[in-house]
Amino acid sequence: MTAYIKQGALLPSLELVATKRDPDTDVVSPVDLSLATSVTVVIWRPSKNGDVVIAGPASNVDFVNGVAGYAWQAGETDVPGIYSVELRVLWPTAGLEVFPTVGVARLVVDASSANYYPTP
């Protein structure tokens, strides 16, 4: 999954879907996040030593169907580039689970056209 946003923009919000593949049937299904103790969105820049850039609580877009969101705050999309994104889910009895379960999701913060075409 790759999400895109323009540099400096606050919309659209980031949405991620937690899914799991059944090893027996190879069917991919959403994970019900509604019973999680916490769901956190973690974003980092791989080219910058992997330092976490953003870590904040996910919003409940549709937790029953595995959909978590993140509302951008001022300044969080100011630096263009390619970022890695994960959902870190804390379950009351099983501990920490990270989505996607294989690899990472990507976020592309695209340079604003204002950098190239300033307003007169």
**CA atoms 53, 112, 70, 23: torsion sign:** negative
Provide the domain count of the chain: 1
pLDDT of residue 32: 97
**119 in a structural domain:** no
Q: What is the CATH number of the domain that holds 62?
A: 2.60.40
Any idea which residue has 């820049």 for tokens? Answer: 45
3-class secondary-structure state, position 90: strand
Q: Count the neighbouring beta carbons within 10 Å of the beta carbon of residue 22.
A: 9
Q: Are 64 and 74 in contact (CB under 8 A)?
A: no
pTM, rounded to two decimals: 0.86
**120 in a structural domain:** no
For 41-89, the pLDDT digits (tens) are: 999 988 767 778 899 999 999 999 999 999 999 999 999 999 999 999 9
